[in-house]
Amino acid sequence: MERVRDLSELPKAHLHLHFTGSMRPSTLLELADKHGVRLPDVLTGALGRGESPKLRATDERGWFRFQRLYDAARSCLRDADDIRRLVREAAEEDLRDGSKWLEIQVDPTSYAPRLGGLIPALEIILDAVDTTVRDTGIGMRVLVAANRMRHPLDARTLARLAVRYADRGIVGFGLSNDERRGMARDFDRAFAIAREGGLLSAPHGGELTGPASVRDCLDDLEAHRIGHGVRAAEDPRLLKRLADRGVTCEVCPASNVALGVYEKPEDVPLRTLFEAGVPMALGADDPLLFGSRLAAQYEIARHHHGFTDPELAELARQSIRASAASADTKAGLLSDVDAWLTA
Ligand SMILES: [Zn+2]
């Protein structure tokens, strides 16, 4: 009889997790209380019931609604203690799910006004990550993400800042928010600065818009990884290109379903990408709003797509290989994956 291995013990890397979106629901409610912030009823109601709010972001109004909830949650992060708590708890949740390496994504612009400016905000975040790494033993790094709703010059400023702090734990540069707004190429200079500074290029694409947005990430931003990228599945030639180049898609199945990109977990094209040889790193995206964390994404692969344990181990290896961890760290984690499989 085949034994079921525990997916929360499968060693893996978590490469797609947003800062505010990583928060525990209970922490959000406590911080709202602490700072006297009135959260939208739809958010407190759902989180109070242990549910996630109903979202549908496939049209612009739905995306706006999602962003409004995200902004409300972010407005509860007001001081350095809040930031330290968020970072520590994100690591604790990840460790519980078998993550040994976490790359958390943040746009420091959003936190700058309350934390004394862009540079102090980033330093508070990086210090919190340092402390968390020391205290918990997790490997943790930061991706700075520009917001495509803002001006490309802001993105360049962020890219320069990210490069300046590369030796303090910043490993990549991203681009987030509504893919329907602006063109990837508007941000090509910012990404060139980031790449020349040794950072990974990891923009969002192929979530709300189709394969063309993934191609833009490859052509205009020379992406090493794609945030989501799932809709590449609609274009076999693009899949081949991703596979040939070894570009990893940071696929977030629960997020896709929560935002209505796909109707049901079984509709997320995990099999299509896997069989095409496109490396994937499963991620939770915004567990605060989508209601599930990292191990649950692997559960979706197992239960809705029939991934066997050797295949799940391969998914974990793909996440580790695509991370910014050192070669030594990767080798250690890869052998831990083998141990999980043979145990
Ligand atoms: Zn994302």
> How many angstroms separate the alpha carbon of residue 233 from the centre of ligand 1?
18
Q: How many Å apart are CA 83 and CA 304, to the nearest integer?
A: 36
Instruction: Using the mean position of ligand 1's atoms as its centre, give its distance from the Cα of residue 286 in Å.
Output: 7
Per-residue pLDDT reduced to its tens digit, 98-141? 999 999 999 999 899 999 999 999 999 999 999 999 999 999 99
Measuring CA to CA, which residue among 139, 69, 148, 73 is closest to residue 107? 148
285 CA to centre of ligand 1 in angstroms: 5
Q: Does the pLDDT at position 212 exceed 90?
A: yes
Q: What value does the mean pLDDT take over residues 298-317?
A: 98
Kindly give the distance from the C-alpha atom of residue 261 to the centroid of ligand 1, in angstroms, as a whole number.
13
Note whether 178 and 139 are within 8 A (CB).
Answer: no
Instruction: Kindly report, residue by residue over 17-66, the tens digit of the pLDDT.
Output: 999 999 999 999 999 999 999 988 888 888 878 777 777 766 667 777 88
301 closest CA partner among 289, 313, 288: 313
Please provide the size of the chain in residues. 343
Provide the pLDDT for residue 44. Answer: 84
Q: What is the pLDDT of residues 132-153, one digit of tens each?
A: 999 999 999 999 999 998 999 9
Gyration radius of the chain's alpha carbons: 19
pLDDT reported for residue 47: 80
Q: Which residues surround ligand 1, an ion (CB under 5 A)?
A: 285
Q: How far apart are CA 112 and CA 303, in angstroms?
A: 42
Residues with a known catalytic role:
207
Distance 145 CA to ligand 1 centre (A): 10
CA of 82 to the centre of ligand 1 (A): 22
CA distance 193 to 175: 14
Residue written as tokens 């799910």? 97
This prediction's pTM: 0.96
Partner residues linked to 176 by β-bridges: 147
Alpha helices in 97-181 (DSSP H): 112-115, 118-136, 152-164
Q: Report the C-alpha gap between 59 and 10 in whole angstroms.
A: 36
